[in-house]
A and B are shown apart, each in its own frame.
Chain A
Amino acid sequence: MAAPDLRAEVDSLLLQLLQDLEELEAKRAALNSRVEEGWFSLSKARYAMGAKSVGPLQYASRMEPQVCVYISEAQDGLQKFWLVRPSAQTPEEVGPREAALRRRKGLTGTPEPESFPALQDPLNWFGILVPHSLRQAQASFREGLQLAADMASLQIRIDWGRSQLRGLQEKLKQLEPESA
């Protein structure tokens, strides 16, 4: 491959990398905000309901996840994180044309279509009528969750991009050992 083509590829990779980094930083800031807001809303809920009414004492004895993480792997080895509801059994709904699908966090490893009980909203652990602040807290944390998955995907893409970049720069060096 000619050096100019390689250089062009290096440039575009670098640009993509910088873009991804910028996006990652933005998402990180957003995640921090969501988490802060979530905890603040929880404090407001505690003010309204009583500090002991919003805490570990209210946890259900049997907890079921509302969200599971799927990792999909593309042909070039690039992995991506997806958030799905546990009842989404069929991998086709999850991600487009992936080679392999692996379940990371979920109820059990078995893929048989058992009928799951209707998903319990954890908000109900705290009562039937909960103050608005508690709902806001849940919404903030949910958004944060999506951001976390996006950030994980971005970080993998950045690492992959960096290794690609290194590879290309090696090739360049071999082609033009005298260039600065």
Chain B
Amino acid sequence: IDFFPENFYFNVDHGYLEGLVQGCKAGLLTQQDYINLVQCETLEDVKIHLQTTDYGNFLDNQTNPLTVSKTDTEMRKKLCREFEYFRNHSLEPLSTVFTYMTYMIDNVILLMNGALQKKSVKEILVKCHPLGRFTEMEAANIAETPSDLFNAVQVETPLAPFFQDCMSENTLDELNIELLRSKLHEPYLEAVYEFCKNHGDVTAEIMCPILEFEADRRAFIITLNSFLYPEGLRLLAQAEDSDQMRRAADHDGVYKPLFGAVGGGSGGKTLEDVFCEREVHMNVLAFNRQFHYGVFYAYTKLKEQEMRNSVWIAACISQRHRTNINYTILNHIPY
């Protein structure tokens, strides 16, 4: 039990939501649920099994035939409803945490790419992540070029502070827009980190390591993916091959065992798998403490992981690759 006086006041503003999120967390799919899902032979079976979980009848209104894409869409809708419920009922400073958890950066990048390719804004808005909508998105209608959009976003949105250190340049082509995405995430993650740190208390204890890990994970994955795309991306990665990257990681007590766990060959774990497991582990641990905001972040991340797992299983089942399912998923589960 955390014995700080602040905790006694936590419940006044946030007690209801904390209780709610603990309840939601208890409804996450368990190992047994996944075992049942993996044994399904068709997507209809998957739907039936999911009816016994917190997902309930979420697929009932779908027309035949059931597809993996529809399953993913409906799961995402459910997550968004829950998230919006939490967000709408939250008070500061929890509300700010929810704002930080959204996907506004990804949506802005999508809009910029769309402007670059001269696609209609309607087309792009469909692709945007529902958890990243902000009112000024509609203003994208009048932006003709990525630069216009860039200026509009800078002036009017909650993202404005993050753009300051980034490129102010007019050469916004595909490569630069992708670089912009990575560059935006840095100050964004730092802002969230500072917010949590300044809040102090258990929130800082839980959230700061999680955010640090997230930043490192992004850097590793980007570096890894960029080895196959060397031109232009040395800006992001100092390491020039995976050995160098591994050597850099060896110096760190946290990352050395992670890299050590990466298996060789097609049956082994990939680096992403290993990072995934650690992220899930850290998120689960957040629920062992009370009176902090980390549980909301952790729940959302665990739910998203659950969605990824379920959609992966569904895809394997629909492609009749059931034997291949087991190899990573069962490690990416909270229980």
Contacts from A to B (Cβ < 8 Å): 36, 39-40, 43, 46-48, 50-52, 55, 57, 60-61, 124, 127-132, 135
Contacts and interface: CB of A to CB of B under 8 A. Distances in A.
Contacts of B308: 47, 50
Given A47-B312, A51-B72, A124-B174, A130 B117 contact: no
Nearest to A51: B72
Contact of A129 (B126, B233, B272, B316): B233
B319 A36 contact: yes
B130 to A, nearest CB: 10
Interface of B: 68-69, 72, 76, 117-119, 126-127, 174-175, 178, 222, 225-226, 228-229, 233, 272, 308, 311-312, 315-316, 319, 321, 324
Given A43-B319, A46-B315, A129-B178, A52 B117 contact: no
Main secondary structure of the interface of B (DSSP, over half): helix
B319 A129 contact: no
A51 B127 contact: no
Rank and list the top 3 A-B pairs by shortest CB-CB distance, nearest first: A128-B178, A43-B315, A129-B225
Given A47-B312, A51-B311, A52-B127, A132 B228 contact: yes
21 contacts: A36-B321, A39-B319, A43-B312, A43-B315, A46-B311, A46-B315, A47-B308, A51-B311, A52-B76, A52-B127, A57-B126, A61-B117, A61-B118, A127-B178, A128-B233, A129-B178, A129-B229, A131-B225, A132-B225, A132-B228, A135-B228
B119 A61 contact: yes
Contacts of A43: 312, 315-316, 319
Contacts of B316: 40, 43
Q: Specify which of B126, B178, B225, B316 lies most central, judged by the most chain A CB atoms within 10 Å of its CB.
A: B225
Nearest to A43: B315
A135 B319 CA distance: 19
Nearest to B321: A40
Contacts of A127: 178
A154 B124 CA distance: 44
Contacts of B226: 129
Given A128-B233, A132-B225, 14 more contacts: A36-B321, A40-B319, A40-B321, A43-B315, A43-B316, A47-B311, A51-B68, A52-B72, A61-B117, A61-B119, A124-B174, A127-B178, A128-B175, A132-B228
Contacts of B174: 124, 128
A36 B119 CA distance: 32
Contacts of A46: 311-312, 315
A61 B126 CA distance: 15
A30 B174 CA distance: 36
